[in-house]
Amino acid sequence: MRLLILGTGGMANNHAEHFAAIDGVELVGAVDVDPNRVKAFAQTHKIPNVFTSLEEAIAWGAFDAAANVTPDKAHHPTTLALLQANKHVLCEKPLAENYAKAAEMAHAAERSGLVNMVNLTYRNVAPLQKARELVLAGRIGKIRHVEASYLQSWLVSKAWGDWATESQWLWRLSTKHGSNGVLGDVGIHILDFVSYGAASDVSHIFARMKAFDKAPNNRIGEYDLDANDSFIMTVDFTDGALGVIHASRWATGHLNELRLRMHGEKGAIEVIHSTEGSSLRACLDDDVETATWVEIDAGTVPTNYQRFAAAVKAATPVEPGFRHAADLQKVLDLAMETERERRELTI
């Protein structure tokens, strides 16, 4: 597979490193509107061809697939152009800024017959995959109650960089720069983490979200700091379970942590994934009587990058695809609407 990297910001390095390690994958081109950045990126990853526009890269055409690592608002037009050019696409999350655009992308991908995948990276977490297996096998019975969180602290820590001076962070705080806040940035991750792990989709939702004061007049240079920093949502799942999901960039003490707890009529499961590693533990069978939790070895699983490359080689569909990501975006859009209208909505 000859791969083009579209967008050469921070996350693009992960794509380049992972794909370069896969047998049969060749990094052949890189695209970015910033000529200095794309040249430096290409030099770092030994990519022979550089372009400052997608149109230029498509006219060249000597690639089979693209990793779309552009900012959120650019996903829609660039992905449609790639599909029109008959190229397979791995797109970063979220698929688009809203459900209408995401649904259009899903329709286009389905019509094309091309391999399409969204890089919901926490599908790479082996404990999540094992937790889903246990749920589908009925080990915890019918799920009654679900708790999930995605906690980050980059607004109170410089461990990832100085958000107040770096554009890669500031745009995430500004709606006019295409950000839907923490809901749009990591909300899709935690929704996928929950729905995939619980093997059940969200059916009803009510959400609250807030942008906290961060600078004088909540403005730094061209950036209005108005995108939500924290959200809390209550949800019903299609299997009847009740859930609470929340996320924040103000979670002091948590660099990047996802947590999922599922409580069923026969047992319970907890998945934790953080910068320190991943874990899976469960309370099952006779241990339910004494509330004893046992660690479970989840083994290893292929990465999204490996599964995308394999799907392109075999010309077969792969999940999570564009349609799944569009369905998640519908939930996120409705979460914004419930905040505005202060009422629960049905998916």
pLDDT of residue 167: 86
Closest by CA to 120, choosing from 326, 336, 342, is: 326
Q: Examine the domain organization and report whether 98 and 155 are in the same domain.
A: no
What domain range includes position 140? 126-300
160 pLDDT band, cuts 50/70/90, is confident
Which of 72, 104, 121 corresponds to the end of one domain? 121
Q: Is the pLDDT of residue 344 over 90?
A: no
Q: What is the CATH number of the domain that holds 90?
A: 3.40.50.720
Q: Is the pLDDT of residue 286 over 90?
A: yes
Q: Examine the domain organization and report whether 108 and 135 are in the same domain.
A: no
Q: Examine the domain organization and report whether 104 and 241 are in the same domain.
A: no
Q: Summarize pLDDT for 48-94 with one digit per residue, the tens.
A: 999 999 999 999 999 999 999 998 889 999 999 999 999 999 999 99
Task: Give the DSSP per-residue string, 129-192.
Answer: HHHHHHHHTTTT-SEEEEEEEEEE-TTT--TT--TTT-HHHHGGG-GGGT--HHHHHTHHHHHH
CA distances to 99, 132, 318 from 174, in Å: 19, 35, 33
Q: Examine the domain organization and report whether 144 and 67 are in the same domain.
A: no
Q: Summarize pLDDT for 92-132 with one digit per residue, the tens.
A: 999 998 999 999 999 999 999 999 999 999 999 999 999 99
What SS3 class is residue 244? Answer: strand
Which of 93, 121, 149 corresponds to the end of one domain? 121
Q: Examine the domain organization and report whether 192 and 113 are in the same domain.
A: no
Q: Examine the domain organization and report whether 133 and 281 are in the same domain.
A: yes
Cα dihedral 184, 188, 190, 195 sign: positive
Q: Examine the domain organization and report whether 93 and 198 are in the same domain.
A: no
HEC sequence for 129-141: HHHHHHHHCCCCC
Q: Examine the domain organization and report whether 56 and 43 are in the same domain.
A: yes
Distance of CA 65 to the CA centre of its chain: 20
In a domain, 341, yes or no: no
In a domain, 305, yes or no: no
Domain count, the chain: 2
Neighbours of 285 (CB within 10 A): 12
Q: Examine the domain organization and report whether 113 and 182 are in the same domain.
A: no
Overall pTM > 0.85: yes
Q: Which two tokens stand for residue 319?
A: 């999940």
Q: Order of strands across the sheet with 49-51?
A: 49-51, 26-31, 2-6, 65-68, 88-91, 116-118
Which of 300, 321, 337 corresponds to the end of one domain? 300
C-alpha to C-alpha distance for 77 and 80, rounded to whole angstroms: 5
pLDDT of residue 78: 98
Q: Examine the domain organization and report whether 266 and 148 are in the same domain.
A: yes
Q: Examine the domain organization and report whether 173 and 109 are in the same domain.
A: no
In a domain, 185, yes or no: yes
pLDDT of residue 288: 98
Q: What is the CATH number of the domain that holds 249?
A: 3.30.360.10
Average pLDDT over residues 268-284: 97
In a domain, 293, yes or no: yes
- Percent of the residues in the chain that have a pLDDT greater than 90, as a whole number: 92
